Every structure is written in C-alpha cells, then in structure tokens.
Amino acid sequence: MINFWANLHSVYAGENVSTTIMGSGITHISQHRGISPHELLKIMLWTYRVSETRVAHPAILSVIVAPDLIDRINFAEIEAATHGL
C-alpha cells in the first residue's frame, strides 16, 4: 500500500483521485483472510497516514465504497480514527 500511495502521487499529482477499498473486490483478500471491508478501509487509511505521500490540496482523495459494503463499515469509527488525515 505504501508503494500504491507513492505511485498514485506520481501519476495523479495535483488532481482529484478516486479509488475503491483495496482487497474488497476482485482480489478477494477479505474473503480468503477473514478481513472485513471495515478493516481493509482502516488499513488503507493507516498506510496513507504513515506514507510520506499526500494528495496535495486542493485535490481530493475519495475512497469509493460499494453499496453492498456500506452496512459492514463503521464510518463513525473510521472518522474518529482518521480525524485530521
């Protein structure tokens, strides 16, 4: 994920970026390892936080959540854990 953020920055520097929750779709990480979509999102945001890469303001980083995953994510916990990200 650290490499993902670095590569994303080099390709989309200064532009808005949208991505899905990595591992919840065709890669099926969550199904094989017992990792919930909530945990995958937390991992993504944690790696973004510890990476030296940031989407530069005024660009926006958006994480797309599929409708069938919305009920499986505690957005209040995510917001509290990533406040100021």
Categorize the per-residue pLDDT at 71 as very low, low, confident or very high, splitting at 50, 70 and 90. Answer: very high
Q: Residue 16 sits in which domain range?
A: 2-81
Give the count of domains, the chain.
1
> Is the confidence at residue 29, as pLDDT, over 70?
no
Note the pTM of the prediction, 2 decimals.
0.77
pLDDT tens-digit profile of 40-66? 898 888 888 888 777 777 788 899 998
pLDDT tens-digit profile of 1-26? 888 888 887 888 788 989 888 875 55
CA distance 73 to 10: 30
Axis crossing angle, helix 37-50 with helix 2-12, rounded to the nearest 10: 70
Q: Are the beta carbons of 77 and 40 closer than 8 angstroms?
A: no
Q: Are the beta carbons of 78 and 42 closer than 8 angstroms?
A: yes
> Is the confidence at residue 30, as pLDDT, over 70?
no
